[in-house]
C-alpha cells in the first residue's frame, strides 16, 4: 500500500508537469510570431496534453478511488497540484517560452528513454510514445534557442534575459525525495539525479551553437512537488477549472 501511494504521487507529479506546461503553451495559439509557429506550438502542446491524459488515467487506476482523468486534472485544489514550478511560469516572450520548453524536453527525453525499460509496463508503454514526441520538442525548441541566441542584438538580449529568469527553476527538476527514491528502487523510473548528465549534454550542445552561457542560479526555487506554487498558479487553475467548478457534475 505504501508503494501504491508513492506511485500515485509520482504519476501525479509527472501528469501535472505535462498538463500545466501544455496549458501554458496552448495560450499561444493564435498569437505566435509567425503562422508556422501557430502550428508548431499546438503540436507540442497536444503531445503534452496527450501524455498528461495517459498519466492521469493510469494514476486514477492505481489510486483505485474511481477518479477519472478530468477529476484529477480539474478538481483538485491548488495545494494538491504537484508540478514543478518551471512549467507554471507565465509564458513571457517567445524566447522565454522556447527556452522553458527546451529545458523541459531536455529533461524529459532521458527520463522517457530510461522509463521505456521500467518495471512498470504501463509507464514503459507511455514512455515508448512520449520519447519520440519529446525528441522533436528538443529539436524544434533547441533550433529556436540557437536562432534567438545567435540572431540579432535584441534577440540575444531577450534570450539572455530568459536564461536569467529560468535559471532558478532548473534544479527543481532534479530534486530527490522519498517518492523518487522509491520509484528508482523499484525500477519504475530513473532517479532524477541520474538525468542531470544527459540534460547538461543536450543543453550545452545547443548553448554552444547559440553562443549562450547559462548563468549560474544564485539560488534554486522549489516547492512545487509539495504543492507550494507561485502566485501565477492560482490564476492558471481558475481558468482551467472554471467550467468544472461552475457546473459541478456536468458532462461535457
**What is the per-residue DSSP string for 112-131?**
HHHHTT-SSHHHHHHHHHHH
Task: Look up cell 528502487; give the residue.
Answer: 185
39 makes contact with another protein (CB under 8 A): yes
* Helices 121-149 & 153-170 angle (0-180, nearest 10): 150
- How near is the Cβ of 166 to another protein at its closest, in Å? 18
Contact 45, 30 (CB under 8 A): no
- How near is the Cβ of 239 to another protein at its closest, in Å? 5
Measured from the CB atom, the residue of 109 and 140 that comes closer to another protein is: 140
Measured from the CB atom, the residue of 57 and 118 that comes closer to another protein is: 57
C-beta pairs of 177-181 under 8 Å, 24+ apart in sequence:
177/225, 178/6, 179/6, 179/9, 179/10, 179/13, 179/225, 180/10
Collapsed DSSP state (helix, strand, coil) of residue 144: helix
242 makes contact with another protein (CB under 8 A): yes
- Select the residue interacting with another protein from 4, 5, 33, 208 (CB under 8 A): 33
- How near is the Cβ of 98 to another protein at its closest, in Å? 9
78 makes contact with another protein (CB under 8 A): no
Alpha carbon distance 195, 174 (integer Å): 7
Cell of 51: 501524455
Measured from the CB atom, the residue of 219 and 252 that comes closer to another protein is: 252
Q: Degrees (nearest 5) of the Cα angle 106, 7, 243? A: 80
- Select the residue interacting with another protein from 53, 109, 114, 229 (CB under 8 A): 53
Task: Mention every residue, 6+ apart, whose C-beta is less than 8 A from residue 244.
Answer: 70, 74, 75
CB under 8 A: which stretch of 5-13, 68-76, 176-184, 198-206 binds another protein?
A: 68-76
Taking residues 95 to 134 in sequence order and writing x for each that binds another protein by CB under 8 A, - otherwise, the string is ----------------------------------------
Considering only residues 128 through 167, tell me which ones interact with another protein, judged by CB under 8 A: 136, 139-140, 143, 146-148, 150-152, 154-155, 158
Residues in contact with another protein by CB under 8 A are 19, 23, 26-27, 29-40, 42-43, 45-46, 49-50, 52-53, 56, 69-70, 73-74, 93-94, 136, 139-140, 143, 146-148, 150-152, 154-155, 158, 239-240, 242-244, 247, 250-252
Amino acid at each position: 500500500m505504501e508503494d501504491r501511494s508513492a506511485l500515485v504521487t509520482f504519476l501525479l507529479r509527472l501528469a501535472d508537469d505535462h498538463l500545466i506546461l501544455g496549458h501554458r503553451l496552448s495560450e499561444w495559439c493564435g498569437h505566435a510570431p509567425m503562422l508556422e509557429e501557430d502550428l508548431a506550438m499546438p503540436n507540442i502542446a497536444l503531445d503534452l496534453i496527450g501524455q498528461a491524459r495517459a498519466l492521469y488515467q493510469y494514476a486514477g487506476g492505481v489510486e483505485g478511488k474511481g477518479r477519472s482523468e478530468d477529476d484529477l486534472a480539474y478538481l483538485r485544489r491548488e495545494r494538491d497540484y504537484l508540478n514543478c514550478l518551471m512549467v507554471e511560469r507565465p509564458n513571457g516572450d517567445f524566447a522565454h517560452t522556447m527556452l522553458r520548453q527546451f529545458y523541459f524536453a531536455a529533461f524529459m527525453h532521458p527520463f522517457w528513454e530510461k522509463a521505456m525499460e521500467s518495471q512498470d509496463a504501463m509507464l514503459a508503454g507511455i514512455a515508448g510514445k512520449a520519447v519520440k514526441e519529446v525528441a522533436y520538442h528538443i529539436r524544434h525548441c533547441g533550433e529556436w534557442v540557437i536562432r534567438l541566441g545567435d540572431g540579432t542584438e535584441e534577440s540575444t538580449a531577450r534570450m539572455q534575459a530568459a536564461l536569467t529568469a529560468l535559471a532558478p527553476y532548473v534544479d527543481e527538476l532534479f530534486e530527490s525525495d522519498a517518492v523518487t527514491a522509491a520509484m528508482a528502487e523499484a525500477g519504475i523510473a530513473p532517479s532524477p539525479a541520474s538525468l542531470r548528465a544527459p540534460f547538461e549534454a543536450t543543453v550545452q550542445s545547443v548553448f554552444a551553437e547559440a553562443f549562450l552561457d547559462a548563468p549560474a542560479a544564485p539560488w534554486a526555487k522549489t516547492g512545487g512537488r509539495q504543492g507550494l506554487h507561485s502566485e501565477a498558479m492560482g490564476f492558471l487553475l481558475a481558468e482551467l477549472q472554471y467550467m468544472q467548478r461552475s457546473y459541478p457534475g456536468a458532462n461535457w
